[in-house]
Every structure is written in structure tokens, then in C-alpha cells.
Amino acid sequence: MKKRYLALLCAIIISMAAVLAAGAYGKYAVLAPLGLEKGLKLPEIPFALLADDGLKMRIELARELKNEPPTEAPTEPPTEPPTEAPTEPPTEAPTEADTQPETEPETEPPTEPVTEPPTEPPDTEPAGNTGFGPPEHRPVPNPDVTPVDDEWFSDALFIGDSRTEGLRDYARVDGADYFCDVGMSVFNIYGKSISDWRFSNMSIKELLSSVKYGKVYINLGINEAGYGMEELIRAYSKLLDLIREKEPEAIIIIQAIMTTGRREAAIRPYSAPEKLFAINKRLEELADGVNVFYIDVNELVAGEDGYLPEDLSGDGCHLYAKKHPMWMDWIRAASADVWEKYKLAHGLTEPADATEPTDNTEPTDATEPVTAENPLEATSPTDTFIPTEPVTTGPTTQSESPSDASDGLLP
């Protein structure tokens, strides 16, 4: 009898532990992405029982955020709005209404609202994702800057999820490395072992410690869009800190989360454009404009309603294979714009601007007496001054490598 009771007690304990473990796992792995975990008082799984590094990080971040946000958030908002709001509106509103109540109330109001709204949105949206809706549609970020060539990506690393996999498979740049995988996020990236052409079965920490990169592109966020905003941004910041630590001289480029189509947003509401644009706004704040920069491909792919058009994507999440070269061309143009901003931030443009006019003026003075005797010699300095031949030969050899690389990727 004692053995039976002992066995029954052990079975009850084991079943209770299994139920609690399953409930906790469901809370963090199933309900959390849908935003339904709030209010559930389930115990946290001990780290010894966790096999998912992403769950470990989310629990750590949840513990860190328990103390900081509640102290800062409730103190600031209640103090500022009541002081400013009641003072300004009552003073300004009655003065304007009393001065012209009967003379021009009917002429001005109908004309101003019609003219101002169409002009204001284009001025505010190109600066970035300030709210729901795509930025200004532009074929290139800065038309005044020439896109970079393949040599720019010779020391570049692309970090991302399945979307970056598509970029790697259908628009790969020879010389760049790709650390990407299906379902990769800022939470589970540390437990991934990835292989590429130049490295095999390496974690992100091992790769950044063994290879020196000059540019690091990050394209993450779609798989973790369902988690809390502060938790996501904190995890993203930790990834940036790791890259800064391992690659202190690298230019870090944060890529905005590409929007989704209506079908994808209907299946996963947390991936709707308004949610992604809100996250992108926070990601843009992580860029300091000195060593970390932000680029937004939604300038190219997002429709006027904020969704990914059906002619660009079949599933509403991933671009068609033939559309990835278009995305890569946009990254080339955006990278050139980033390089110009980097040079301005580090004072690299001033010496170039100072030397160019001096070099241009000296040869002209030296060639003037020669051109007076021989008019044909006046054209030769201009032709030899622009180094056309050495510049054109480089890109021709580089343009062949991507085609060879793409042919190698196709079965």
C-alpha cells in the first residue's frame, strides 16, 4: 500500500510540474506573440529547463523592464499636459475668435483646410515613419548621390531573417557575408549556428569575433513584432551593443522592417503596417547618425495605404524572386547616402572640398599659355583630368562576379 501511495504521489507531482511547464511555455512562446499573455499568472520556467535561447532572453528582458518603465512613464505625462494645455488654449482661442467673428469666418476656414492638408503630409512623411502610412515614394533615397558598387560590400555582413535569405539567394553580392535564417529574431539570434560561403556553423558572436567587417546591415523585427515594444527595442539595443563591441570600426545600418500585405496582416495582426511603422519609428531612434544609420525600404515597396502591393509579393511577406534585385539596387543607393552622412559626421568631406578647388585651379593656370599656341592641346587636359579608364575597368570585372554568383545559386 505504501508503495502505491508513493507512486501515486510521484505521479501527481510529475503531472503538476508538466502542466505548469506547459502553461509557462505556452505563455511565452504561444500567447506572447499574440499579445495575450498579460494577466496570466503563470510561473516562469527555470533556465535549466529551457531549450530555447529566445525564451531565456525574453524572460531576462521582462525582469529588467519590471522596474524601469513603471517609474519613468507615470511621472512625466501627468505633470506636463495639465500645465500646458489649460494655459495656452483659453488665451489664444478667445482672442482670435473675438477679433474676426463676423467679417471673415466664412471665407477663410473653407479655403485654409483645403489647401493645407494636402501640403503638410508630404513634408512630414519623408523624414521617416512618424506614424501609420508609408514615407514618400522615391526610386532612390538621394538622387544626387551615385549608388555604391560591389566593392563597397566586400567587407559587409547582412544579418536577417527569411527576407534576407531571399536577398542572398536572388540578389547576392559577391564579397558580402550573410548571417540569416528562417524565423531569426533579436531574441534567438545568439543560439543560431549559420553557414555561408566563407564560414561554416558559426554563431553571431563567433563570426563577429573572427572576421573584421566594415559594414553590418541588420534586417530583423518581423518575427518579433508581436512582443512588447520596450522588450523588443531593448533586445535590439543589446544586439547593437554586441556589434559595436566586436566591430568598433564598422558602419552599422539598421534596415526598417518591410511592410506586409493585407493577407499577411489579416492572418497575423501584429504584423500589420501600423504596428510595423510604430516599431520602425523606434528603430530609427536607435541610429545616432555617426556610426549607426537607418534606411527605410518602405520608401520603395509600401503602397499608399501602407500595405505591400500584390504585384511585389505573393504571400504578403516575402518579395517575389525577380523583385529582389530591385531591393538590392535600392540598398546600393541608400548605402551611398549613408556614406555621405558618415563622412559629414566624421569630418571627412572638408579636406576633400578644400583640395579639389586647389587642384582644379592650378592646372588651368598652367595650361592657359599652352592652349594659346596649340588649340588642340586645350582638349587633352580635360580628357586626361577625368580618370575614366581606371574607374570603368573596375566595375566591369565586378559586374561579372554577381552574375556568376547568381548562376551558382540557381539549381
**Phi, then psi, of 255 in degrees rounded to 5:** -95, 130
Q: Give the pLDDT score at 70.
A: 46
Cell 521582462 found at: 62
Counted residue by residue, the chain has a size of: 411
Query: Do residues 147 and 337 make contact, with C-beta atoms less than 8 angstroms apart?
Result: no
Tens of pLDDT, residues 351-370: 444 444 445 444 444 444 44
Residue 384 has pLDDT above 80, yes or no: no
Query: Do residues 299 and 245 make contact, with C-beta atoms less than 8 angstroms apart?
Result: no
- Residue 145 three-state SS: coil
Mean pLDDT score, 9-13: 88
Distance of CA 237 to the CA centre of its chain: 12
Higher per-residue pLDDT: 53 or 304: 304
* Closest to 232 (Cα-Cα) out of 291, 188, 182: 188
Q: Nearest-5° angle of CA 310, CA 314, CA 315?
A: 110
Give the count of beta carbons closer than 10 Å to the beta carbon of residue 306: 21
DSSP 311-366: TTBSSSSSB-GGGHHHHHHHHHHHHHHHHHHHHHHTT-HHHHHHHHHHHHHHHHHH
Residue 399 has pLDDT above 70, yes or no: no
Between CA 229 and CA 140 the distance in angstroms is: 30
Q: How far apart are the first and last CA of the chain?
A: 67
Band of residue 170 on the pLDDT scale cut at 50, 70, 90: very high
Residue 183 gets the label, from left (phi > 0), alpha (psi -120 to 50) or beta, of left
Tens of pLDDT, residues 184-198: 999 999 999 999 999
Q: How far is CA 338 from CA 281, 287, 293, 347, in A?
A: 18, 11, 7, 14
Higher per-residue pLDDT: 380 or 321: 321
Higher per-residue pLDDT: 229 or 57: 229
Band of residue 350 on the pLDDT scale cut at 50, 70, 90: low
DSSP β-ladder status, 215-219 and 156-160:
parallel
Sheet of 292-295, strand order: 177-180, 156-160, 215-219, 251-255, 292-295
Cell 598652367 found at: 366
What is the pTM assigned to this prediction?
0.60
Query: Do residues 176 and 151 make contact, with C-beta atoms less than 8 angstroms apart?
Result: no
Q: Give the pLDDT score at 59.
A: 64
Supply the mean pLDDT for the chain.
73
Higher per-residue pLDDT: 164 or 74: 164
Mean pLDDT score, 300-323: 94
* Closest to 34 (Cα-Cα) out of 228, 220, 221: 228
Cell of 226: 508581436
Distance of CA 96 to the CA centre of its chain: 45
Range of lowest pLDDT (137-141, 146-150, 338-342): 137-141
Name the CATH superfamily for 150-345.
SGNH hydrolase (3.40.50.1110)
Q: What is the dihedral of CA 124, 127, 133, 134, to 10 degrees?
A: 130
DSSP 162-224: HHHHHHHHHSPPTT-EEEE-TT--TTTGGG--B--SS--SB-HHHHHHHS--SEEEEE--STT
Q: In the chain, what are the domain boundaries?
A: 17-68, 150-345, 359-409
Q: Nearest-5° angle of CA 128, CA 161, CA 274?
A: 35
Q: Give the pLDDT score at 91.
A: 42
Residue 344 has pLDDT above 50, yes or no: yes
